[in-house]
C-alpha cells in the first residue's frame, strides 16, 4: 500500500505495513473517532470511478444490487458473485449524478478492476482508479469531515432495503454510524501535520466495525463464503432483481434457508494476552467448527472477534479460540431462515397430495378419463 503520509512521524505512532494502528492511546482514539472528533486514514481501501451514460444500468446487470435507478447521493453496496454465489468483490457505492465512486478493499481492487474492464463491451462506461486517500469518520450525525472531500459514502448498515436479514427476529446490532470519504493526498498530509490529535488509528475503525457485526471483503471473505453466511443481504443484495451471476444460489438459500456457515461475534476471555490471528481455529470440544476472521480489543466490550462457524454449532456451545474461552453473540441465526423465506415451497400442494395417497392430480371436473 502506498502511504500518503509518513504516519510514523506522529507521536507514539504504531504502524503495520503503512497502516496506522494507533497513536499510543487506542481507547481515547476510539472515543474520539466514534464521537466525531477524529478521522481514521484507511490506505487499505481505495476508490474506483465508473463514469459514462450507461454506468448505472451496466453495473446493475453485473452486480447483486438494484442500481438502474439509484438516486444521486444515495449510498449503497453491491457484490460481484461467481455463478455458484461465492463473493469475489464488494463495492461501497455512491453516485453523484455523473459518476459512481466505488470504495473497495485493496484485497479485491485489482481483480475487480480487471473484471469490470472486461465486461464493458459496447457500453458507454469508463473505469479508472481515483488518486487520493480514503478516510473514515463517524458519529451520530455523521457530519462532514474536517477537510475537503471528493466523495462521501455513508454506510447504510444495518438498514435493510430490498434485501433481508438472517439475524434472529427482534435482534439488531449496536451500530456506530460510519462513513468513508475520498480526500486529496496533500490535504490529508497537511491536516495530519497540523492536527495530529485528530488522527486515530485503524484499530478505532475496526472496533466500531466488528462490534457492529459489519462484514468487509478483506477479512470476512474466503473462497467459499456466500452472502447469507455474513448477513450481507441487509445492504448488498436486492431480492427484486435477477439475471446476475450467483442469483440462483441467493434465491435457493433465501427460499430454503440453512446456509452452511454463520457469522458470529465472539466475546473472548479477557485474561488472554494476545488476540487471535485471522484464521485461528474455533473449536467445540474436540471438533474444529470454524475460524476467526477479524479480532480487536474493544475499549468497552473487551477482546472481541468475528468468526465463521458451522451453522449447526449450538448457540450456547462453550467455544475455544487458541485455548481461550469464547462466548457467542448470535449474528446469523442458527435456524438459517430469514423473513423473506416463503411460508410454503412451490409444489407443496402436489407433494402433500402424494403423501395422502393420491398418485396423480385430480382430473378436470371429476369426469375421470375421457
pLDDT, tens digit (0-9, with 9 covering 90-100), for 157-176: 999 999 999 999 999 999 99
Give CA–CA dist 56/62, Å, rounded.
10
Give CA–CA dist 6/15, Å, rounded.
10
158: cis peptide before it, omega within 30°?
Answer: yes
Q: What confidence tier does 144 reach under pLDDT thresholds 50, 70, 90?
A: confident
Residue whose C-alpha cell reads 465512486 in the numeric block:
101
Other Cβ atoms less than 10 A from the Cβ of 198: the count is 16
Find out whether 266 and 292 touch, Cβ atoms under 8 Å. Answer: yes
Q: What confidence tier does 54 reach under pLDDT thresholds 50, 70, 90?
A: very high
Find out whether 104 and 90 touch, Cβ atoms under 8 Å. Answer: yes
Ranges assigned E (strand) in 139-250: 151-154, 178-183
Percent of the chain's residues with pLDDT above 90: 85
The sheet with strand 76-81 has its strands ordered as 76-81, 87-95, 99-105, 45-51, 126-129
Residue of 219, 309, 326, 220 lying closest to 259 (CA atoms): 309
Give CA–CA dist 276/319, Å, rounded.
13
Torsion sign, CA atoms 23, 152, 220, 234: positive
Give the pLDDT confidence of 269-324 residue by residue, as tens digits: 998 889 999 999 999 999 999 999 999 999 999 999 999 999 999 999 999 999 99
State residue 237 phi and psi, 5-degree precision: -135, 130
Residue of 234, 205, 230, 233 lying closest to 44 (CA atoms): 205
List CB contacts of 357: < 8 A, sequence separation 6 or more.
none
- Mean pLDDT (the chain) is 92
Which cell numbers hold the place of 114? 480487471
Which residue segments constitute the domains of the chain, with CATH numbers given? 8-220 (3.30.1360.120), 258-339 (2.40.30.110)
Rg (CA), the chain: 23
The sheet with strand 178-183 has its strands ordered as 40-41, 133-138, 178-183, 151-154
Give the pLDDT confidence of 91-121 residue by residue, as tens digits: 999 999 999 999 999 999 999 999 999 999 9
Q: What counts of helices (H) and strands (E) characterise the chain? A: 8, 17
Q: Does the reported pTM lie above 0.85?
A: yes
Give CA–CA dist 272/304, Å, rounded.
12
Mean pLDDT in residue range 15-30 = 95
Which cell numbers hold the place of 183? 480526500
Give the pLDDT confidence of 177-232 residue by residue, as tens digits: 999 999 999 999 999 999 999 999 999 999 999 999 999 999 999 999 999 999 99
Give the pLDDT confidence of 200-209 residue by residue, as tens digits: 999 999 999 9
Predicted local distance difference test score (pLDDT) of residue 141: 60
Amino acid at each position: 500500500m502506498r502511504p500518503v503520509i509518513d504516519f510514523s512521524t506522529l507521536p507514539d505512532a504504531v504502524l503495520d505495513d503503512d497502516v496506522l494502528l494507533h497513536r499510543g492511546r487506542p481507547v481515547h482514539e476510539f472515543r474520539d473517532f466514534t464521537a466525531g472528533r477524529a478521522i481514521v486514514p484507511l490506505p487499505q481501501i481505495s476508490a474506483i470511478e465508473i463514469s459514462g451514460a450507461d454506468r448505472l444500468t451496466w453495473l446493475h446487470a453485473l452486480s447483486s444490487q438494484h442500481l438502474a435507478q439509484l438516486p444521486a447521493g444515495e449510498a449503497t453496496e453491491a457484490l460481484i458473485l461467481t455463478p455458484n454465489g461465492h463473493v469475489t468483490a464488494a463495492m461501497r457505492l455512491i453516485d453523484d449524478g455523473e459518476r459512481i465512486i466505488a470504495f473497495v478493499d485493496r484485497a479485491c481492487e485489482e481483480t475487480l478492476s480487471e473484471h469490470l474492464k472486461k465486461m464493458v463491451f459496447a457500453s458507454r462506461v469508463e473505469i479508472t482508479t481515483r488518486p487520493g486517500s480514503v478516510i473514515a469518520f463517524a458519529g451520530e450525525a455523521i457530519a462532514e469531515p474536517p477537510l475537503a472531500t471528493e466523495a462521501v459514502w455513508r454506510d447504510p448498515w444495518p438498514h435493510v432495503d430490498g434485501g433481508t436479514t438472517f439475524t434472529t427476529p427482534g435482534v439488531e446490532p449496536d451500530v456506530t454510524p460510519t462513513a468513508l470519504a475520498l480526500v486529496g493526498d496533500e490535504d490529508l498530509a497537511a491536516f495530519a501535520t497540523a492536527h495530529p490529535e485528530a488522527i486515530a488509528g485503524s484499530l478505532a475503525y475496526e472496533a466500531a466495525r466488528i462490534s457492529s457485526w459489519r462484514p468487509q471483503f478483506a477479512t470476512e471473505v474466503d473462497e467459499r463464503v456466500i452472502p447469507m453466511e455474513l448477513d450481507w443481504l441487509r445492504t448488498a443484495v436486492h431480492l427484486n432483481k435477477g439475471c446476475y451471476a450467483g442469483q440462483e444460489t441467493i434465491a435457493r438459500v433465501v427460499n430454503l434457508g440453512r446456509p452452511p456457515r454463520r457469522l458470529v461475534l465472539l466475546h473472548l476471555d479477557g485474561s488472554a494476552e494476545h488476540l487471535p490471528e485471522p484464521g485461528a481455529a474455533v473449536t467445540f470440544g474436540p471438533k474444529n467448527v470454524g475460524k476467526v476472521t477479524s479480532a480487536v480489543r474493544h475499549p468497552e466490550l473487551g477482546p472481541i472477534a468475528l468468526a465463521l462457524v458451522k451453522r449447526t454449532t449450538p448457540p450456547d456451545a462453550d467455544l475455544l479460540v487458541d485455548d481461550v474461552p469464547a462466548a457467542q453473540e448470535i449474528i446469523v441465526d442458527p435456524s438459517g431462515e430469514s423473513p423473506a423465506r416463503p411460508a410454503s415451497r412451490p409444489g407443496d400442494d402436489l407433494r402433500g397430495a402424494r403423501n395422502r395417497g393420491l398418485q396423480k392430480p385430480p382430473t378436470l371436473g371429476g369426469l375421470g378419463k375421457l
